[in-house]
Structure 1
Amino acid sequence: MVSKILVSACLMGHAVRYDGRAKPLAHTAIERWMQEGLIVTICPEMSAGMPVPRPPAEIGDAADGEDVLAGTARVVELTGGDVTEEFLRAAENAVRLAVDSGCRYALLIDGSPSCGSGFIYDGSFSGNRRAGNGVTAAALKRAGIEVFSDREIDRLIQRIGSNSAAAGSLSGGR
């Protein structure tokens, strides 16, 4: 049996991003996983009570989600508001949901200070990217959940395929 997959709600078409928009990911695998009941959807920030829309936030001080989890970095909004506690609660909620739902994998939107797993923004609010994990991505990885960015869906399909003979039907293209 294929394990469940935690998926960022914005990738599923829900308008939950900080700017009130979605970033739907159209892929035949997503459609199949939905039909098979394998997708567990979450917006970590909304699960922590953050509103939509909300000011953009970034992890400061050239840090990443691991640093936030360690208590050595903060998540700050463009307006200067410190939302570190909300992002920590969001990560905790996502880990709990993933574990309770039997998710071995997570497919998250990249770039987010919460869900970013390939890159995050550098904390300057200038659009500069750098390698790193958001707070939720880092927490999920710590919990043993394999995290993939939206740009890595084909790699996720291969990974699931290497863990289950039933996953062969998931190899459809975009």
Structure 2
Amino acid sequence: MIIVSACLAGVECRYNGQEFSIPKIIEMVKKGQAISLCPEILGKLPTPRLSAEQYDGRIFSSDGQDLTNQYLAGAKVALNIARLVGCKKAILKSKSPTCGCGKIYDGTFSGKLINGDGIFCKFLKEENIEVYTENEIR
């Protein structure tokens, strides 16, 4: 089974209350080939919400609030779901503090990217689950 970021499957769950639909991913979910989930929603974060970025191992909202615990809680629930369904691959939203893979924002809210992974992505990789971004499957 493949786990996909819910925003890529058309769910309006991103920080700005929008989705980032990828038709191929929507089809995969419709055909039962993939399960969509949002670790941020699973962490009980509201939609919409302030943007957030990782900095020094923590996740902060753009107003400086430390939201690490909520993001970690959601990533752990999402990981448990991935384990339950026997996930072998994931397609996650790039640059996200939760789902980003390979590149994430640097925590300064300046738009600068650095090498790194979102916390859910890290958890999946620790389980030897292959992680891709929407950019790699287009």
- Cα distance, 1:26 vs. partner? 2.1
1:24 aligns with 21
Please tell me the root mean square deviation across aligned C-alpha atoms, in Å.
Answer: 1.3
Q: Does structure 1 residue 140 correspond to structure 2 residue 137?
A: no
Q: Does 2:10 correspond to 1:8? A: no
Query: What aligned pairs does 1:100-119 form with structure 2 within 5 A after superposition?
Result: 100-119=84-103
The structure-2 alpha-carbon separation of the partners of 1:35 and 1:46, relative to structure 1 and needing over 3 Å to count, comes to: closer
2:31 corresponds to 1:36: yes
Bigger radius of gyration: 1
Kept after mapping to 1: 8 A contact 2:42/2:75: no
Using the alignment, how far apart are the partners of 2:69 and 2:30 within structure 1?
35
Unaligned runs of 5+ in 2: none
Q: Which runs of 5+ in 1 are unaligned?
A: 62-72, 155-174
1:51 equivalent to 2:35? Answer: no
- C-alpha distance in structure 1 between counterparts of 2:19 and 2:104, whole Å: 18
Residue correspondence of structure 1 range 25-174 to structure 2 within 5 A:
25-27=22-24, 30-31=26-27, 33-61=28-56, 73-153=57-137
**Separation in 2, partners of 1:35, 1:41:** 10
Amino acid aligned to 1:37: G
Deviation at 1:119, TM superposition (A): 1.0
Amino acid of the structure 2 residue aligned with 1:142: E
For residue 11 of structure 1, give the secondary structure of its aligned residue in structure 2: helix
Aligned length: 138
Residue aligned with 2:88, SS: strand
Q: What is the TM-score with the length of structure 1 in the denominator?
A: 0.75
Rounded Cα–Cα distance in structure 1 between residues aligned with 2:31 and 2:64: 43
Q: Distance in 2 between matches of 1:150 and 1:114?
A: 14
* Aligned 8 A contact 1:112 1:134 in 2: yes
Deviation of 1:15 after TM superposition, in Å, equals 0.6
CA offsets per residue over residues 91-148 of structure 1, 9 Å max, x none? 1111101110121111000010000002100000001111210000001111221111
TM-score relative to the length of structure 2: 0.94
